Structure 1
Amino acid sequence: MGAERLRGVVALDGPSGTGKSTVARRLARQLAAGYLDTGAMYRAATLAVLRAGVDPADPEAVPVAVRAVVEVGTDPASPAVQLAGEDVAVEIRGEPVTSAVSAVSAHPEVRQRLVDQQRRIIASVLASGRQGIVVEGRDIGTVVAPEAPLKVYLTASAQVRARRRGNQDRRAGRGGDQASTLVAVQRRDELDSGRVTSPLRPAEDAVVLDTTELDVPGVLTALRRLATERGLVELAGGGPR
């Protein structure tokens, strides 16, 4: 069997702890596609705000602080994140950024700036030899790439998402008990779903995939099936599967 590759855009949205980042990267690697973690961009912008000593809720100071250059790689094998030329991939996952990212992301000017950049990145990848890209975030299907031929909204129970996030934090050497992690997940859900600009919600034509009872291979199988059904998977050098 020849190698398979993705063509076009797969948009993956959903709240924290649904496994978006893990399955998006693996899907992109399996299908020789580009990968874009838009959440990492908002986290890098949040880090810029914190380093500037700015209140994350300040509507005037925050947009100025995020003018610092945020760059992300699109290689799913090593998705680099840089702020003003500095590698910040580890720092943006820390508690200070996690606690402030929803507030920073809620500013319309911040979202417009990063959405414009995300659209340019997607267009660049599609124009390159890869021809396909998996994009994950919270407003991909509704705002960033509403024309994507496949939009999937990943969901899971709050308890399961909190357990996954807690396990992820412990593997990364970050502390936190299960109860506090659940509270943090629920708070993030409320902030992201309740913001005025680009709230977290599934696109009208998105496929809602509940991952509560699925492991990573199970989610990947479902995503590859959906992509194949949409005619987005082809054999390298050939036509659709």
Structure 2
Amino acid sequence: MHKLTVAIDGPSGSGKSSVSKEAARRLDAAYLDTGAMYRAVTWHALDAGTDLTDADAVAAAVVAADLFISTDPDVEKVTIHGTDVTQAIREPFVSEAVSAVATNLAARKELVARQRTIIAAHPRIVAEGRDITTVVAPDASARILLTASEEARLRRRGLQLGGTQSAAELQAQVLARDAKDSTVVNFQVASDGVATVDSSELDFEQTVVTVLEAIKAQAS
């Protein structure tokens, strides 16, 4: 099998995690959810009582985090210092705080370095997040921006959370977080050489197929 690195970026609720994971399965590749890494170190910072308004303290907490993340698309597991936080990092209290870490440039530098190490360790991998196509792996075999309309993204995230969030809470998690994170990285518009896949009118299977076609077109 030839080396293959696929970079997929996109806003919240675009479907990039589920689509990237399925693409990895079909490509017989590893899968890296970089968003889960940001969530995990945010959980760690909160658990340690870190003042999230203190940029230096946040960066120090991220550097100190003993983080493990599974790269098997069929095994979802994230640990911090051996503690399984796979489910905890999806809780609203983490979603509400993650931008404090994601917009911290020193924290981003640390996580980007870790992400590059993980990517380099796998001959075939699909990595997804917000700055994979532009910062983490700009030389990837294929680079894709997966996007969708605000309406579609809010609907999908609501379904993902089982209808437990109000409309205002969903907007805070999806649109407000995107607005904060976009102050440090542009994941709303494709950079040069990055293919755009708009999944607004596509179902899951159609989106996966379209992404695989985009990967084939770039990586062949």
State the TM bucket, normalised to the shorter chain.
Answer: over 0.9
Does 2:154 match 1:186? no
Q: Is the 8 A contact 1:10 1:134 kept in 2?
A: yes
Distance 2:173 2:98 in 1: 12
Provide the aligned C-alpha RMSD in A: 1.6
Q: Which runs of 5 or more structure 1 residues have no equivalent in the other structure?
A: 127-131, 233-241
Aligned amino acid, residue 85 of structure 1: G
Equivalence map 1:1-241=2 (5 Å)? 7-66=3-62, 67-126=64-123, 132-170=124-162, 175-195=164-184, 198-201=185-188, 202-232=190-220
Distance 2:218 2:152 in 1: 30
1:180 to 1:39, Cα distance in 2 relative to 1, 3 A? same
CA deviation after TM superposition for structure 1 residue 79, in Å:
2.9
Q: Which runs of 5 or more structure 2 residues have no equivalent in the other structure?
A: none
Larger mean CA deviation between 177-186 and 80-89 belongs to 177-186
TM, length-normalised to structure 2? 0.94
Aligned amino acid, residue 44 of structure 2: A
SS at match of 1:11: strand
CA deviation after TM superposition for structure 1 residue 182, in Å:
2.5
SS at match of 2:213: helix
Aligned length, in residue pairs: 218
Distance 1:61 1:230 in 2: 41
1:162 to 1:9, Cα distance in 2 relative to 1, 3 A? same
Larger mean CA deviation between 178-187 and 32-41 belongs to 178-187
